[in-house]
Every structure is written in structure tokens, then in C-alpha cells.
Amino acid sequence: MTRLHDLYALQGQSPWLDNLKRSWILSGELADWVSQGVRGITSNPSIFQKAMSGTDAYDDQLKDLVANGCDAENAYWSLVVRDISDALEILRPVHEASGGHDGQVSVEVDPSLAWDTTGTVAAARALHERIPKPNLLVKIPATPEGIPAIREMVAEGKSVNVTLIFSLDRYAEVIEAYLSGLESCDGDLSRVSSVASFFISRTDTEVDRHLSAIGTPDAAALRGRTAVAQGQVAYSMFTSAFSGPRWESLTARGARVQRPLWASTSTKDPSLRDTLYVDELIGPDTINTLPDITLKAFEDHGTVARTVDADIEGALSTLKAVRDLGVDLDAVAHVLEQQGVAAFIASFDDLIRSLAEKADTF
């Protein structure tokens, strides 16, 4: 048994891997991660950019696609669909053994659609049709335009990973989109899965930049504390939303909770311990998706203990203290949302260019 196994068995939190590349699929390394306790996988355009650039693992398939007249962007999606499909198969035993609770693999819609509701719905629907697996989660960003797309997909009985959540107010909108989508769904609700991906470390990076500019001892004392506090308050919102008469009427139809997923959980500040964003956000019905370096760190010296709801009043006090110093958390969330979308678009565009350049060499 590993610490990753203990995380799920003792505390009800599912460790997922925030990385995917073909070399791991072919070598068996991905299957080895699953045997060590990984219960799901997340991907995004930046992950695929790193996976496909500077390697020949994708060349044979790319050559075949180019020979058949496929352009770079369509080739990208074919490469992604193969990796996701293979990963879904590796995670299938986890999905089946858990009764659909875990074993999911996430793939993101074209990031340039983040501000386009209609385009996002069409792209998400197309991915579900192209990869008709019960353990697929299609990632939709929690932008204002993404919220109605999330509701529509859930109403159609499709499983969704809501990504790029940076604020408690937007998280409330995400929860409502999921609940109202379930209420509008005519299908089997037990077949619908969803996670809400709350980004953690990026929040501290941006908030701490403001605290450093303030420069007071009080501000310095709050560095590295906002992201965990926000995640802990988000968990209290989750437990409240998924209880009571409204939720009970949905569970009677087989509905599953939309689990909070802690994303961006590698520490960016070297003064913070490397497992901070795992150790402080452990609790039932949650997911932590970790890059492999953080998974290794947690397995080596992480702490398996319920912490996510240990001190909600303290978390609320931390957020109040940050606001009282003049840090506008709504503005922080807006900046991070814009940056997150822009980063994924840049990764996507760079990868399409590199695939086109490589295709010209064949």
C-alpha cells in the first residue's frame, strides 16, 4: 500500500495524475502510476504541447495522418483522441471497480472557445461522440460563457470537468449549473459525472504579488495562505450545496455529487513546502490532481489526514484579512481566468504550428 492508496482508503480523497504522454502509455509507466494508487488523469493543451514537442513518439501516426490529407489541427485532435482513448482503457478497471466513482480521464475543448457558449457546446458534444466512453470527462472552462455550456452538457447527460475556477462566486455558479443541468436531464443521472476544478497555487502566486507590494508585516504573514483558505471555504460550499431537499430529490434519481477537484497543486514559491496544497486540502469526496513530481513528493513525505474542513472559521478569517489589506480577490480571479485561458490558447497554437512544421518534413 502507498500513501496514495491511503489517501483514498482512509480519507476518501482520490489522487489523480495531472499529466499524460504517449511514452508513458507505451512503456507501461502510466499503468504503474495506477497500480500505485492514481485513480484518474487530467490533461490540457499545455500538457499535450509538452508531450508532443521534442519527441518522436507521435511521428508514425502523424505521418499517416498527413499522408491521408489531414491538416495540423485535425491531426492534433486525432493524436489526442488516441492518447485519451488508450488512457481511458488503462483506467477502465478503476472505473468499473469504483462503480463509476473514479477512473476518469479528462480532455479539454479547444481553448479558443472559452468565450463562445455555442461553440463550446458543439465541441464538447463532438468529443463525447468521438470518444464514447463512460469514463470520459470533457473539460469546459468556468468562464461566464462556459457556465451555460456546462449546464447544457449536463442536461444532455454528458460528463464534464469544469476547469479554471478561481473564485468562490464563480464556484457557486458552477454548482448551480450542475444542479440545474441534472434537474433538466431526462436520462439516467447515475451515468453523469462531474468535477469542479478549483485552481490553487496560481491564486497564491497572484495574491502574494499584491501582498509583497503592500509590504507590511501583516501582509507578509498572509503570504502562501489565501489559496488553501479559499479551497477550504469552497469545500464548505460543496457540503452545503450537496445536501438538503433539493439534492435529495436528485439523489433519488441516481445523481452523483460534483466533487471539488484541487488543480494547480504544485507549489510555485520555493519557500513553501512542496506538498502544501495536498496536505491542507484532504477530505471526503474530493480529488487532487497532481503533476508527477508532486505525486512523488507526497508519496515520500506527505501527510494523510483530514484537513480540508478542520478550521473553516480560520479560513474565512484569512480571506477577510487579505481583503482588509486591500487585495481585491474578485479582481485576482478575473486576472487569473484571463491568464489561464490565454496560456492554454498559446500552448494550443504553438503546438499546431510545430505539428505543421513537422508535417512539412515528412
Supply the residues annotated as catalytic: 139
Q: Are 210 and 274 spatial neighbours (Cβ–Cβ below 8 Å)? A: no
Secondary structure (DSSP) of 296-350? HHHHHH---S--TTS-HHHHHHHHHHHHHTT--HHHHHHHHHHHHHHHHHHHHHH
Rounded Cα distance, 149 and 181, in Å: 10
**DSSP 8-state symbol, 274:** T
CA dist 317 → 155, 170, 230, 263 (Å): 37, 20, 11, 23
- Which cell is 165 given? 475556477
Q: Residue 310's closest CA among 245, 237, 235?
A: 235
Q: Hey, is 282 helix, strand or coil?
A: coil
CB 20 within 8 A of CB 41: yes
- Check: CB of residue 154 under 8 Å from CB of residue 186: no
Q: How far is CA 237 from CA 181, 230, 277, 346, in A?
A: 18, 11, 19, 33
